[in-house]
């Protein structure tokens, strides 16, 4: 059974279509969420989402270097 993606998770995946990105770059590409949170909180929110997407097999870490760069694990819609 597959779980639906949230609109924000869709934005995260869209940001990774053409390039690997760091967590901060993904956060910047996705824009801020409502509530006026700061940049560090925004990056933490994106990191949590990326880890959830990683567990589902939708994204992966490019390598073990820091900062972590994220890429799509497979073509979307190929589930």
**pLDDT score, position 34:** 63
| Contact criterion met (CB below 8 Å) for 69 and 15 | no
List C-alpha distances in Å: 46 to 21, 25, 62, 64, 79. 12, 10, 16, 18, 23
Is pLDDT above 80 for 69? yes
**pLDDT score, position 78:** 46
**pLDDT score, position 79:** 46
Q: Would you state the structure tokens that stand for residue 23, as one six-digit string? A: 């967590």
**Per-residue pLDDT reduced to its tens digit, 1-21:** 467 899 989 999 999 998 889
pLDDT band at 53 (very low <50, low <70, confident <90, very high): very high
The CATH architecture to which 7-72 belongs is Orthogonal Bundle (1.10)
């Amino acid at each position: 059974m597959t779980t639906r993606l949230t609109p924000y998770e869709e934005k995260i995946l869209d940001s990774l279509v053409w390039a690997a990105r760091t967590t901060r770059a993904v956060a910047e590409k996705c824009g801020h969420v409502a509530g006026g949170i700061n940049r560090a909180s925004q990056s933490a929110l994106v990191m949590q989402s990326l880890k959830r997407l990683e567990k589902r097999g939708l994204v992966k870490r490019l390598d073990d270097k820091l900062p972590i760069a994220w890429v799509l694990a497979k073509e979307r819609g190929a589930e």
